[in-house]
Amino acid sequence: MQGYDRPIGIFILSVTTVFIIYYSLWIILVPLLNEDHIIPSLFPKISIGLVLGIPVAIGSVFFLAIVIFSIVQMRAYKSNKQQKTD
């Protein structure tokens, strides 16, 4: 399955970027607009966004921990592989 990591990574990064932009606009922009404007109708109530912030923060910390663990494991694997070839 060589060669599939890059497209999958780009897809995951794109979905995450869209989600972060949407969530940021929801929390930052919507409270500044009048309720009769069309943009607030595209988002749920702001109170739901603040409640969802806690699980999103926990998920982000968990994801960051997985990424850091993976980087450490890859570096250890590369150093072991180089030591065996030397």
What is the pTM assigned to this prediction? Answer: 0.51
Do 58 and 30 share a structural domain?
no
Decide: 26 and 3 in contact? Cβ < 8 Å: no
Dist. CA 44–CA 47, nearest whole Å: 8
Q: Say if residues 46 and 26 touch (Cβ distance below 8 Å).
A: yes
Specify the 3-state DSSP secondary structure of 1. coil
Both 86 and 53 in one domain: the answer is: yes
What is the H or E stretch that residue 19 is in? helix 5-24
For residues 26 and 60, membership in a common domain is answered with: no
- Counting the structural domains of the chain, the total is 2
- Domain extent at residue 73: 49-86
Average pLDDT over residues 63-83: 88
Count CB neighbours of 9 within 10 A: 10
Q: For residue 62, is pLDDT > 60?
A: yes
Residue-wise pLDDT tens digits, 4-17: 788 888 898 899 89
